[in-house]
Structure 1
Amino acid sequence: MQFENTLKFAQKLDSEDKLHDYKNEFHFPQVNGKDVIYFTGNSLGLQPKCTQSYIDEVMTDWKNLAVEGHFHSKKPWWDYHERLAEPLSEIVGAKTEEVSVMNTLTANLHFLMVSFYRPTKKRFKILCEEKAFPSDQYLLQSQVKFHGFNPDEALVEVKKREGEHFWRTEDVVAKIKEVGEELALVLIGGVNYYNGQVFDMETITKIGKSVGAFVGWDLAHAVGNIELKLHTWGVDFAAWCSYKYMNSGPGNASGIFVHEKHLADDSIPRFQGWWGTKKETRFLMKPEFESTHTADSWQVSNPSVLSLAPYLSSLTLFEEVGMKSLIEKRISIVSYLEFILHEIDKEVNSTFEIITPMERGCQLSVLLHGEGRPLFDYLMKNGVIVDWREPNVIRLAPAPFYCSYEDMYRFGQILKEGILSK
């Protein structure tokens, strides 16, 4: 399609967009009395309007039923989490029994590493990407220290090539093969938080397993954003948060994936709790742990129903729309945003460098040569909510559920005004 940098053309794209009306299903902050242009769904998604009713239902059942709400509420609390597994399995490309919801992201990665980071004197190294998200760095450092290893020796970072802003799959593969029999675990962010790059998870998983390592993925920026086939790819485990593209609310519950080949293996070590025991015998208070032989067996405590309710409300929208439609719009709207950026770049005689490679999801990270924090401040004051990363990168994530093509056009005009107003 031949794009145009005009309001009329953007509105035409919106009129043809079958997801356009879903914008009305979300609450928007306002600046200067107008709904903002929201580009930070990669950090915190907007609140679906249906969420309040899901929370109110739980609060009403608590008020009227108290403890009996566990079994007699409209959506009984004791199996509330099970309602999330099926829609999530569709989103991440898994079998229902391979998915569960519990805790928060880094906590879940720690729990999963109990099972999938079991270092020996010979095989103890973990491979990750250079400058992984800080929480992942702290997670990995603390895990190797806990097992008595030196992070300087145990952590292997795959670096970008000199002068490049992205990782090359062949470099990841080469590093895996180089570490070889010393490699215990590959754990990488499936979509990089800084540059928005989507890693070739299928290839990396295959190569990691070929040298005898477990392979896991932090999918914080991937779930609800890109196509995933965790079961087919043979991924051992994964975890993700729910408050970015999944729109479940700040700091909300995390999802996990454990491949079915591990589910019936009772020899796998794990930290156990009563919510991981068989549902049928859970309330018999038996002294022995009995695995559910599903991903639920990694649960420890009963999940917070008040956290699960917003997540479930958002998943109803994902079920309505489907990832295929979301991905189709995401590809189109990100392409239009990229076009707008290049057009504005030419108009203001500036230099915008998009550091996100073509292997991308919803996010474009833009290096603003010659621009600084004042431009970010100008955008925010004029109703464009973007994300700033030092020294001069803005992250733009036009989430397809609630961003429009007209938003992309208007953003370009505000961006141009901000540069020319200096």
Structure 2
Amino acid sequence: MLFENSLAFARQLDQADPLRSYRDRFYIPERNGKPLIYFCGNSLGLQPKTARQALDCELAIWQQHGVEGWFEGENPWLTIHQRCKEPLAQIVGANPSEVCPMNNLTVNLHLLLTSFYQPTGNRTKILTIGGDFPSDQYALETHIQTRGLNPADTLVEVFPRTHEHTWQTADILDAVEQYRDSLALVLMSGLHYYTGQVFDMAAIAQKARQIGVPIGFDLAHAVGNIPLKLHDWGVDFAFWCSYKYLNSGPGGVSGIFVHENHHAAALPRLAGWWGYDEARRFEMTKGFVPMPGADGWQLSTPTVLAMAVHHAALQLTAEAGLDALRRKSELLTGFLEFVLRETAGLQIITPINAAERGCQLSLLIDHDGKTVFNRLTEQGVIGDWREPDCIRLAPTPLYNTFEEVWRVGQAFASC
């Protein structure tokens, strides 16, 4: 599409947007009675208007039934996680048995490492990308230490080439091949939090399968942002948070994917009561018998109120559909790139190819970037600042508009 840097053109795009009605299904933050331009869905998504109703419903059940809420009514809490499985499966490209909402992201990472990281003999190394999200770095470092290994010797980190900000897929594949005889696991983000780069998960998963090494992805910045086909790609496991593009609230419930190829395997795991066979759970007997599928990795009683909000939010994303959201996302982000290209002093480090990015642009400011960020905030533009010189902006297709993108360009021009 040929863009025009004008308000009239932006409004024309909004009128033609088939998803424009979804904005009215979210609360848009305001300041002094005026809506803010909220481009921070990559950090915390906005509140769906159905969230309060979902909470009130579960609070009423708690009020009226007490502990019997676990068993009584049309949707007893005992099976509350099952409400989320169909929309989650649709969003990540999986079978419902392969996904389960539970815990928080780094807890799930450690649980899945327990199952899928099995160092033996010379195969001890974990291949990842350098500069991945800090929580993943800390989890890998400390988990490796619990296995009696040295992270400095065990972690293989692939960095971008000199003077480049993003990764070449070939470099990642070459590293997998180079360490094929010593790798026990490949684990990395599917979409990089800092640059906004989407990795070629299908190609990386295929390469890992070729050498017989498990492959896992952190999808915190990918889920609800880009179409995923975890089952078809042959990914062994994945995990994510739900409070970014899935809009499930601050600290909202995480989720996992475990490919059905592993459901019958006797994988080691750290077990808990809620992962025990539901039909026998209240027998309170010794000897762990896992639930079938991904549900068998659950540990504790689910957080009912968080799960209720999660379900309400998931329905919006599933209803809109990832294909439609992706089409709008590419237009929104492309339009943002277009209007920002006319602003001096900005370097966009996110890939230019739409297929290699989600709905985020990361901008390096060559001089006094924090001042620029603060001025944007004063003008009602809510983005995200990352030290030392990066502004991340994420025009989110469920609730952001093309007019907002144009106004962000105007705000930058005035800084």
TM-score bracket for this pair, using the shorter chain length: over 0.9
Code of the aligned partner of 2:272: G
- SS of match in other structure, 1:181: coil
Query: 1:256 maps to what in 2?
Result: 256
Q: 1:139 & 1:295 partners in 2: Cα distance?
A: 21
For the Cα contact (< 8 Å) 2:362–2:393, is it kept in 1?
Answer: yes
Q: 1:14 & 1:371 partners in 2: Cα distance?
A: 33
For the Cα contact (< 8 Å) 1:161–1:167, is it kept in 2?
Answer: yes
- SS of match in other structure, 2:318: helix
Query: 1:184 maps to what in 2?
Result: 184
Query: 1:316 maps to what in 2?
Result: 315
Which ranges in structure 1 are unaligned for 5 or more consecutive residues? none
Shift of 1:307: 1.1
Deviation by residue 1:334-365 (Cα, 9 ceiling, x = unmatched): 1111111113x2xxxx2321101121011110
Deviation by residue 1:357-393 (Cα, 9 ceiling, x = unmatched): 1210111101122342111001111110010112221
Deviation by residue 1:280-331 (Cα, 9 ceiling, x = unmatched): 2212223232222210000011211111011101011123211111111101
Q: 1:3 & 1:355 partners in 2: Cα distance?
A: 21
Query: 2:36 maps to what in 1?
Result: 36
Across the aligned residues of Structure 1 and Structure 2, the Cα RMSD in angstroms comes to 1.0
Query: 1:232 maps to what in 2?
Result: 232
Code of the aligned partner of 1:172: I
Code of the aligned partner of 1:88: L
Shift of 1:199: 0.5
Query: 1:298 maps to what in 2?
Result: 297
Deviation by residue 1:387-406 (Cα, 9 ceiling, x = unmatched): 01122211010010000000
- SS of match in other structure, 2:188: strand
Query: 2:403 maps to what in 1?
Result: 406
Query: 2:349 maps to what in 1?
Result: 355
Code of the aligned partner of 2:350: T
Shift of 1:33: 2.3
For the Cα contact (< 8 Å) 2:83–2:311, is it kept in 1?
Answer: yes
Query: If the length of structure 1 is used for normalisation, what is the TM-score?
Result: 0.96
For the Cα contact (< 8 Å) 1:127–1:176, is it kept in 2?
Answer: yes
For the Cα contact (< 8 Å) 1:71–1:77, is it kept in 2?
Answer: yes
Query: 1:393 maps to what in 2?
Result: 390
Q: 2:329 & 2:197 partners in 1: Cα distance?
A: 15
- SS of match in other structure, 1:157: strand
For the Cα contact (< 8 Å) 1:40–1:386, is it kept in 2?
Answer: yes
Aligned-residue sequence identity (percent) comes to 50
Deviation by residue 1:2-50 (Cα, 9 ceiling, x = unmatched): 2111111111100000111211111122123211101110000000011
Shift of 1:279: 1.7
Code of the aligned partner of 2:239: A
For the Cα contact (< 8 Å) 1:365–1:394, is it kept in 2?
Answer: yes
Which ranges in structure 2 are unaligned for 5 or more consecutive residues? none
Deviation by residue 1:180-225 (Cα, 9 ceiling, x = unmatched): 1110011101000000000000111111222221110000000000
For the Cα contact (< 8 Å) 1:263–1:295, is it kept in 2?
Answer: yes
Identify the match of residue 373 of structure 2 among 368, 372, 376. 376
Q: 1:254 & 1:199 partners in 2: Cα distance?
A: 21
1:4 aligns with 2:1: no
Shift of 1:92: 0.3
- SS of match in other structure, 2:86: helix
Q: 2:359 & 2:10 partners in 1: Cα distance?
A: 18
Shift of 1:66: 0.1
Query: 1:62 maps to what in 2?
Result: 62
For the Cα contact (< 8 Å) 2:91–2:318, is it kept in 1?
Answer: no
For the Cα contact (< 8 Å) 1:246–1:315, is it kept in 2?
Answer: yes
Q: 1:341 & 1:368 partners in 2: Cα distance?
A: 12
For the Cα contact (< 8 Å) 1:272–1:300, is it kept in 2?
Answer: yes
- SS of match in other structure, 1:257: strand
For the Cα contact (< 8 Å) 1:32–1:383, is it kept in 2?
Answer: no
Deviation by residue 1:103-131 (Cα, 9 ceiling, x = unmatched): 00000000011100111231110011111
Code of the aligned partner of 1:205: A
Code of the aligned partner of 1:297: G
Shift of 1:252: 1.1
Code of the aligned partner of 1:415: F
Code of the aligned partner of 1:356: T
1:137 aligns with 2:132: no
Q: 2:196 & 2:394 partners in 1: Cα distance?
A: 9
1:272 aligns with 2:271: yes
Q: 2:207 & 2:324 partners in 1: Cα distance?
A: 31
Query: 1:98 maps to what in 2?
Result: 98
Q: 2:387 & 2:181 partners in 1: Cα distance?
A: 38
The 5 A counterparts of 1:17-56 are 17-56=17-56
Code of the aligned partner of 2:325: L
- SS of match in other structure, 1:251: coil
Code of the aligned partner of 1:319: A
